[in-house]
Structure 1
């Protein structure tokens, strides 16, 4: 019904995202043909921005996001016929709580994600993972929750109990970060990486050229790309940090910045 779908995506230059965007277009097409409600995999903010660039072209469908809690990083997009009332639609995501005798913050996000992926579940079916001091909450596609509850027995070598919880029971753990003040030559990505992690400019350039750096979840391959106050920068293998505040220019023309490095 949509004909040549490539025409809806020709403005998207990130070829790594084309397959994901085509899957979303397939959902739109099915809604248009069958008048059913469809929902996507969990998408990060960058992917959702790309989706909005073509979703708004279809007047016959409406859409909204679901992430389980306000400010969720990973969300699904629910697509439905324009004449349906959003308030009558069911939720297509759910949540589980993991409890154990160990200290949950002794493990990290990667440990919990790895354990769930080890069950054969794709990353796209998993939303935010919220690590608290005494338990962890995980947001998932609703249709895989029973499978996870039946099969997830350990996180690493530690036994764990899993139960389903209501979405309103989800709460965000307090952020753990270290704030540092640095002066940088400019707000270029390579300068900020060097300041945040104490690595050389050539080291920063290597991370960028090897595709390990994202700005607001968007892959960055140009060292001269400039960040703005509030931007989130992630480096695969090191973590993420935020350009929290730009504090002004020094007498020597450098920028003084506050950076939050998340643990």
Structure 2
């Protein structure tokens, strides 16, 4: 961060408590000469933290399984090998009567978030096609999850620790779509896939209901590129997989779409 001032990050990402908290993580390592292990951070927070740290420290992240979205970040002044166990993450499975009831991601998230713990203490919540549900959390909270979480919503559950081959491969619920658009602007891409008007999409962006690569944006004019992740509230999340030009000078955009349960009208 010596090359980029705090003001630079405010200009790029806004003057928010989140930015101050990420800069504070940098300062803890800079001024206390200790390795640091963060809470679970989302990809946007990890991106900003890497920008703040630059090349001054060694940094790695892990979320309990290879494709995790929320991850803990390990920051060190020393170039030493960081092992998965150094991230102090434990995987848990939610056991329930799956022959008679169905659990949803929102059910588990709501129960964990309302249990009295901070959101940053647990990571991804994943499931497979058979209805198994697992989540990842700080190892230090293992007794809490095993002893205190016995209900998800109104449903009685049992939490048990899992590891290794017991960790499931999450179900990919995305749908691949092709869209032909006249522009690669953010509002054009969203209007095409959501079937909302450009005017409506611009209003939605200005309201703060759109995130680009996990960070809120109110700029409709941003040019979208391959691997960008766009989230639209009540619509879902899309990933840009491929962009090609048609013979008529338009753009064919291949997208993966993870649908939200609640949709815009």
Q: TM-score range by the shorter chain?
A: 0.7 to 0.9
Output aligned runs, 1:234-245, within 5 Å.
Answer: 234-245=231-242
- For residues 84 and 153 of structure 2, what CA distance do their matches in structure 1 show? 41
CA deviations over 1:78-104 (Å, ceiling 9, x no partner): 123417553597332111111211369
- For residues 250 and 84 of structure 1, what CA distance do their matches in structure 2 show? 52
SS in 1 for 2:178: strand
* Candidates 47, 50, 59, aligned match of 1:49: 47
SS in 2 for 1:90: helix
CA contact (8 A) 2:182 2:251 kept: yes
Are 1:112 and 2:108 an aligned pair? yes
CA contact (8 A) 1:65 1:78 kept: yes
SS in 1 for 2:8: coil
Unaligned runs of 5+ in 1: none
Q: Which residue of 2 aligns with 1:204?
A: 201
Let me know the Cα RMSD of the aligned residues: 2.8
SS in 2 for 1:41: strand
**C-alpha distance 107-205 of structure 1, shift in aligned 2 (>3 A):** farther
Instruction: With the length of structure 1 as denominator, give the TM-score of the two structures.
Output: 0.85
CA contact (8 A) 1:234 1:241 kept: yes
- For residues 231 and 53 of structure 1, what CA distance do their matches in structure 2 show? 17
CA contact (8 A) 1:31 1:81 kept: no
Q: Which residue of 2 aligns with 1:144?
A: 141
- For residues 164 and 234 of structure 2, what CA distance do their matches in structure 1 show? 31
Q: Which residue of 2 aligns with 1:27?
A: 28
Q: CA deviation at 1:160?
A: 1.6
* Candidates 98, 101, 108, aligned match of 1:102: 98
* Candidates 172, 184, 189, aligned match of 1:192: 189
- For residues 101 and 25 of structure 2, what CA distance do their matches in structure 1 show? 35
- For residues 19 and 172 of structure 1, what CA distance do their matches in structure 2 show? 35
SS in 1 for 2:168: coil
CA deviations over 1:225-246 (Å, ceiling 9, x no partner): 1111222111122211122222
**C-alpha distance 19-108 of structure 1, shift in aligned 2 (>3 A):** farther
Instruction: With the length of structure 2 as denominator, give the TM-score of the two structures.
Output: 0.84
CA contact (8 A) 1:213 1:235 kept: yes
CA contact (8 A) 2:177 2:256 kept: yes
- For residues 19 and 104 of structure 1, what CA distance do their matches in structure 2 show? 46
Q: CA deviation at 1:8?
A: 5.0
Report how many aligned residue pairs link the two structures: 254
Deviating more after overlay: 21-30 vs 72-81:
21-30
- For residues 79 and 152 of structure 1, what CA distance do their matches in structure 2 show? 31
Deviating more after overlay: 166-175 vs 231-240:
166-175
* Candidates 64, 67, 70, aligned match of 2:63: 67
Q: CA deviation at 1:163?
A: 0.6
- For residues 105 and 224 of structure 1, what CA distance do their matches in structure 2 show? 45
* Candidates 224, 229, 242, aligned match of 2:226: 229
Deviating more after overlay: 72-81 vs 222-231:
72-81
CA contact (8 A) 1:196 1:241 kept: no
Unaligned runs of 5+ in 2: 260-265
